[in-house]
Chains A and B, each alone.
Chain A
Amino acid sequence: MGKPIKIKAKIKGDIAEVKALMPHPMESGARVDADTGETVPKHYIQEVVCKHNGNVVNTAFWGTGVSKDPYMAFKFKGAKAGDTLEISWKDNTGDTSVKEVTLK
């Protein structure tokens, strides 16, 4: 299980503005460890799925070019207090992390 995702969401009118932080090394496979001199293998998030009340609103596919500890922001319509927002990711090793919050 990956590290927990941090989600900040606020509703303006019926629009939800979401910011998410996902602690993850995001190793591109090109970095050389300064201590061991060995290349650090690829380890990065490939897919992020964002669901509002169970419906997918945004699917992000990522490559190795996304920064370490990824930050992502997005917006969607039709949100109201009490709705659920779930964000999950899956990396190239099959590891995952899921977080659900209630909008307020």
Chain B
Amino acid sequence: MRLQRRALIRSLFTAAAVLAVPRWVFASRPDAAFNADNSDTVVKDLFEGSIAESDQITLKVPDIAENGAVVPVTVSTALADVESISIMVENNPTPLVAMFELSPQSIPDVSVRMKMGESSMVRTVVKAGGKLYSASKEVKVTIGGCGG
């Protein structure tokens, strides 16, 4: 009985310690989301709760990408308390391209270059203040970037 109680107390402390971890202590790489082959699964794996379209997010991608192997993308936002920025290319074999986790010291303005197999919607999901926001834009690709 006493042992059980000890175990219970210990587990409560562990739970408290987990909850007390500041939000900018980073999780490990969400491998399942990166392996998922459709963007709905990616969103389900990464996020809980509803996602609102937001005009506070600037998703900068070219309208037409001549070379799908190198498509520049920049995501910045005026939203406060940004925790993460994720970028997805809906028609890629594995849509999740990148997820940036930002500390409070970071300014939510990240750029990367990505591959696009074909024309597709590019979608970004920003987690800010515990809420989820998104923006998307279509990119037309004239030469795909997957065959190399």
Which A residues are within 8 Å of any B CB, using their own CB?
Answer: 15, 28, 30-32, 40, 46-47, 52, 55-68, 70-78
Contact = CB atoms under 8 A, between A and B. Distances in A.
B142 interface: no
B94 to A, nearest CB: 6
Nearest to B26: A59
Contact of B98 (A60, A73, A75, A76): A60
Interface residues of B, number: 37
A71 to B, nearest CB: 5
Contacts of A56: 24, 26, 103
B30 A67 contact: no
B147 interface: yes
Interface of B: 24, 26, 29-30, 34, 69-71, 74, 89, 92-103, 105-107, 109-116, 145-148
> What does DSSP make chain A's interface, helix, strand, loop or mixed?
strand
A66 B93 contact: no
Contact of A71 (B30, B93, B97, B112): B112
Given A62-B98, A63-B96, A65-B96, A76 B106 contact: yes
Given A58-B100, A74-B100, A65 B94 contact: yes
